[in-house]
Amino acid sequence: MAIFNFIKPLGRRAVFMIKLKSFKISTLFFAAIFLTLGLSISGQSLLAAWVAPLANPSTCLTGNPGCDAPINTGPAFQTTNGALWIVNSPYPVNPYGLIVEQGNVGIGVMNPGAKLEVSGQITITGGTPGAGKVLTSDAAGLASWSAPAGGMGGSGTANYVPKFTAASTLGNSLIYDNGSSVGIGSTDFTSLTGSGNLKVNKDLRVGGVIRGDASGNVIIQLGN
- Domain ranges in the chain are 1-35, 158-191+202-222
Q: Work out the angle at residue 118's Cα, subtended by the Cα atoms of residues 113 and 123, and round it to the nearest 5 degrees.
A: 150
What integer pLDDT is reported at residue 10 of this predicted model?
A: 47
Cα-Cα-Cα-Cα dihedral of 132, 133, 135, 136, to 10°?
130
What integer pLDDT is reported at residue 221 of this predicted model?
A: 67
User: pTM, whole model, 2 decimals?
Assistant: 0.37
Average pLDDT for consecutive 10-residue bins of the chain (224 residues)? Answer: 46 53 63 66 54 66 63 71 64 65 87 92 87 89 84 82 87 85 73 56 65 70 61
Q: Residue 162 in contact with residue 173, Cβ under 8 Å?
A: yes
Tell me how far apart the alpha carbons of residues 173 and 160 are, in angstroms, rounded to a whole number.
Answer: 6
Tell me how far apart the alpha carbons of residues 219 and 26 are, in angstroms, rounded to a whole number.
Answer: 158
How many residues does this entry show for the chain? 224
Using alpha carbons, select from 87, 81, 53, 83 the residue that is nearest to residue 67: 81
- DSSP strands (E only) in 112-159: 116-118, 134-137, 143-146, 153-154
Q: Residue 165 in contact with residue 154, Cβ under 8 Å?
A: yes
Residue 79 identity (one-letter amino acid): T
Q: Residue 189 in contact with residue 203, Cβ under 8 Å?
A: no
Residue 98 identity (one-letter amino acid): L
Peptide bond into 92 cis (omega under 30): yes
SS3 51: coil
SS (H, E, C) 165-199: EECCEEEEEEEEECCCCEEECCCCCCCCCCCCCCC
Tell me how far apart the alpha carbons of residues 47 and 52 are, in angstroms, rounded to a whole number.
Answer: 11
What integer pLDDT is reported at residue 222 of this predicted model?
A: 64
What integer pLDDT is reported at residue 54 of this predicted model?
A: 74
